[in-house]
Amino acid sequence: MNVPAASARTVALIGGSGDVGRMLADRLRAAGNTVRTVDIRFTDRSDADQVKGDVTDPSPELRAVVQAADAVILAIPESVALESIPFLVAELPEHALLVDTLSVKSRFDAALRESALRGGAVGINPMFAPSLGPEGRPVAAVTYRDGPGVEWFLSALSGWGSSVVRLDAEHHDRLTAATQALTHAGVLAFGLALADLGVDGGELTAVATPPHLVSLALLARVGSGVPEVYRDIQAGNPFAGDARRALAAALTTLTDTVEQGSDDDFAALMSRATSPLGDRIEPLARLCADLFTDLVHRRPRNGDTS
């Protein structure tokens, strides 16, 4: 089996026009790898490293790109990634690594297990917006099928400054239901409640406490995002519904405790609410204090559009 040298690989990146695809392509090229980017939306034929193609209806050119690759990265929606598996399994060289960047892993994992994939396969989920960069930020990684390319790719992520957190597919999806689906649901529900209360954004920022100002900032960032991305996180994760129902139930418990419970009941509620933090409560409290201190210099003023 002809395994490529660790220092130089040929990578086919399918979905190269998206934010995640561009980030990965830039980083891999900077490390000395050859990256061919593939996307159905490409129109500029002056770039030899760009290939216009549809992985669900592969052209001869796209087939050749995949056949020549040491690694194929899928930065595409889950439905397209699942549909592409038979083509990729048939065309990938035996030594080649398959990588996905999906936010949900369990269905892709099951599909790969039913396939005749010969090489290694790993899924990654950058737990940050690509515009922020990978330095100091976590990347969740699920190894579907081990192989020599898996460690090469995960080591590359670590070399970019990311902390790679290894999980199995189901644990990944359960965890991201909390870290992504629950978080976004809470932020959007907060915004919906503000809309129902009929309050003014300028007045809110003028009198906001530090926790409220951070909540407003989260709402601004999430609410300014691409709706399809945030809906996919809610609709695609098989455990996201449980997270939303837990959030709704928690609000009911809070309301009942305030309206019918005692001071001791409310203290017990607060203790239960912080129990998932475990021994991380003190460092997280210090992090929050640091964020609040920085807000003194960053609080938006009326008329500030920067």
pLDDT tens, residue by residue, 256-270: 999 999 999 999 999
CB 145 within 8 A of CB 121: yes
Residue 37: enclosing H or E segment and its boundaries? strand 34-39
pLDDT band at 124 (very low <50, low <70, confident <90, very high): very high
Q: How far is CA 297 from CA 201, 236, 291, 301, in A?
A: 19, 39, 11, 11
If DSSP codes are grouped into helix, strand and coil, which group holds residue 170?
Answer: helix
CB 98 within 8 A of CB 92: yes
Sign of CA dihedral 277, 278, 282, 283: negative
CB 124 within 8 A of CB 157: yes
At 174 the pLDDT is 98
Backbone angles phi, psi at 14, to 5 degrees: -95, 120
At 49 the pLDDT is 84
